[in-house]
Structure 1
Amino acid sequence: MIERVQGYYGFTRVPFGRSLAPSMLHQHHSHKEAAARIAWCINNRAIGVVTGEVGSGKTVALKGAVASLDPARFTVIYQPNPECGMRGLYDLIVTSLGGTPKFHSAALAAQASAALAAEVDERGRTPAVVIDESHLLSHQELDAIRMLTNYDMDSTTPFAVLLIGQPTLRKKMKMGVLAALEQRIAISYQMPTMSKEETSGYIKHHLTIAGRSDPLFSDDAVDLIHITGRGLPRQVNNIAWHSLIAAYTEEKSIVDESSARAAITEILATD
């Protein structure tokens, strides 16, 4: 089906896919704002929090920000699954920086801290510890991250920390038990959803990089996709692709509102 849709509409690549190079990502407002804040946080060895709804493009913004960094000056340590606990994070830090993790947890925590400092002092590279899905971290784990940033009698931090997660992370940070961590946060950004105009530009952008620069989605189809997808890039991708399939099955040259509505009905039926 994918190949037939691609051939029918003359795409040079499948549109609305996830495997895009950073230079091909759509630069709507929230993406640019999040990427700029992430890059600032890493450059300044600060603690940052970026939150957004599921599918709002948090990881995509992170990908864009990391791509802008000089790999000779920065080392990004990415933890996609915080459910492995703090030991898993310490282990990842040590192995990412070329060490062999120690067995005992207390010794491993000290080893991770020393490895981060050595990356700056001995190799001249700033480490950035990025924890995705950070809303899954417990209060104890979040406080352990704060303790990890203690260095040189708490006067400096030799690395950056980025906590990426859903909006519940912001609520968790407001709790009194995490006051010490919240006071250290230099950047806190909640990613908004795309506006109707941004959704339209987003769809056009993905069609253009797939080889179609002419209008392929009608305005009313785009409006319906935006409303149903709530301006969330992942939802827009999903509905737009299924709308293309619906239009293809009826041999339409344009994706109109009825095609988008048929796609939405199918998606809702399978959810």
Structure 2
Amino acid sequence: MIRHFFGWERTPFTKEISTDHLYLSERFKECVARLHYMVKTRSFGCVTGDIGSGKSTAIRYLRDQLDLHKYRFLYLSDANLRPRDFYRELLHHFGLSPKFLRSEAKRQFQHLVWDLYENQKKVAVVVIDEAHLLQGDMLQEIRFLTNFQIDSVSPLALVLVGQPELQATLQLRVFKPITQRMNVRFHLSGLDLQETRAYIEHQLQVAGSTHPVFTTEAMDAIHAHTRGISREINNVCTACLLDAVLRKDKLIDAMHVARILTEFKEQ
């Protein structure tokens, strides 16, 4: 609908955008650089950010850049993850049938990771998303998981990804042994005003637009409402484009944005 009306090659502001076409803000590039550091040094760390700030996109970008001859990427996202399920999920990723007892499944996974590292010359990259929802027993299990060969060489990189409350949880005294083991902690913030403008224009260019669609005032209004959170920007821009299609308008100004934001508040 949007694509046909504007004569574009693809629809902008969707999750389906290829990592080759992402808008790379300075903060996003810094986040990816920290992730690459964790991978290359086989470290333990965490990345936090508000809902929709681009955390999962950064992980997807990292995954697509990894050399599959050197790394094995493992992604878990389960709010109800428990230690036994954790090892079972990881082993299933490797195509193995996990042992029944948690202790046996844990040893099975540790042996697998060491074999991967020493014999296959590959590093396991384990990413646990929605980590702010993990229970205390799971966080403690992660602490034990990082203790390979009594704090010597680590055969894997482990990344926790979650909302800002993850940092608050890790500051609790009971979890201090976990934070002490973390090599990297990074918070992905929203885009500033100039980046929001550049983000919107980049999305349109990738879609195939050759002329302005949003006025500067419209983009500034979108930034003020979304605080530069990319998912929110996508939602507002998509709603504005649909409104423009219905009204047969080729240019979206501040009035379009105000009308859409009013509708959002009424929902």
Q: Which moved more, 1:74-83 or 1:166-175?
A: 74-83
Q: Which moved more, 1:163-172 or 1:146-155?
A: 146-155
Read off the aligned partner of 1:47 and give its amino acid letter.
Answer: F
**Cα drift, residue 250 of structure 1:** 1.8
**Local SS of the residue matching 1:156:** coil
**Cα drift, residue 136 of structure 1:** 0.6
Q: 1:86 aligns with which of 83, 86, 107?
A: 83
- The question of whether the paired residues in 2 share the 8 Å contact of 1:139 and 1:177 is answered with no
Read off the aligned partner of 1:192 and give its amino acid letter.
Answer: S
Is 1:16–2:34 an aligned residue pair?
Answer: no
Q: Give the Cα–Cα distance (whole angstroms) in 1 for the partners of residues 214 and 83 of structure 2.
A: 47
Q: 1:162 aligns with which of 156, 159, 163?
A: 159
Is 1:56–2:56 an aligned residue pair?
Answer: no
Q: Which moved more, 1:233-242 or 1:117-126?
A: 117-126
TM-score (norm 2): 0.97
**Cα drift, residue 217 of structure 1:** 0.3
Q: Give the Cα–Cα distance (whole angstroms) in 2 for the partners of residues 93 and 227 of structure 1.
A: 42
Task: Tell me what 1:133 maps to.
Answer: 130
Is 1:214–2:211 an aligned residue pair?
Answer: yes
**Cα drift, residue 239 of structure 1:** 0.1
**Cα drift, residue 98 of structure 1:** 3.4
Task: Tell me what 1:120 maps to.
Answer: 117
Q: Give the Cα–Cα distance (whole angstroms) in 2 for the partners of residues 199 and 268 of structure 1.
A: 21
Q: Give the Cα–Cα distance (whole angstroms) in 1 for the partners of residues 69 and 121 of structure 2.
A: 9
5 Å matches for 1:20-39? 20-39=17-36
**Cα drift, residue 30 of structure 1:** 1.9
Structure 1 unaligned residues grouped into runs of 5+? none
TM-score (norm 1): 0.95
- 1:83-113 alpha-carbon deviations (Å, 9 max, x no partner): 2322222012212223210111121122122
**Local SS of the residue matching 1:83:** coil
- The question of whether the paired residues in 2 share the 8 Å contact of 1:246 and 1:262 is answered with no
Task: Tell me what 1:267 maps to.
Answer: 264
Q: Give the Cα–Cα distance (whole angstroms) in 2 for the partners of residues 70 and 82 of structure 1.
A: 29
Structure 2 unaligned residues grouped into runs of 5+? none
- 1:14-47 alpha-carbon deviations (Å, 9 max, x no partner): 1101011111111012211111111110111000
- The question of whether the paired residues in 1 share the 8 Å contact of 2:116 and 2:122 is answered with yes
Q: Give the Cα–Cα distance (whole angstroms) in 2 for the partners of residues 160 and 49 of structure 1.
A: 11
**Local SS of the residue matching 1:239:** helix
Task: Tell me what 1:65 maps to.
Answer: 62
Task: Tell me what 2:41 maps to.
Answer: 44
- 1:162-211 alpha-carbon deviations (Å, 9 max, x no partner): 00000000011111111111011111001111000000000001100111
Q: Give the Cα–Cα distance (whole angstroms) in 1 for the partners of residues 47 and 29 of structure 2.
A: 13
**Cα drift, residue 268 of structure 1:** 2.4
Q: Give the Cα–Cα distance (whole angstroms) in 2 for the partners of residues 205 and 102 of structure 1.
A: 49
Q: Give the Cα–Cα distance (whole angstroms) in 2 for the partners of residues 203 and 66 of structure 1.
A: 25
Q: Which moved more, 1:141-150 or 1:160-169?
A: 141-150
Task: Tell me what 1:239 maps to.
Answer: 236
The CA RMSD measured in Å over matched residues stands at 1.1
Q: Give the Cα–Cα distance (whole angstroms) in 1 for the partners of residues 24 and 221 of structure 2.
A: 22
**Local SS of the residue matching 2:248:** coil
Aligned-pair identity in percent equals 30
- 1:50-100 alpha-carbon deviations (Å, 9 max, x no partner): 000000000001111221110110001100214232222201221222321
- The question of whether the paired residues in 1 share the 8 Å contact of 2:69 and 2:122 is answered with yes
Number of paired residues?
267
- The question of whether the paired residues in 1 share the 8 Å contact of 2:81 and 2:138 is answered with no
Q: Give the Cα–Cα distance (whole angstroms) in 2 for the partners of residues 193 and 63 of structure 1.
A: 18
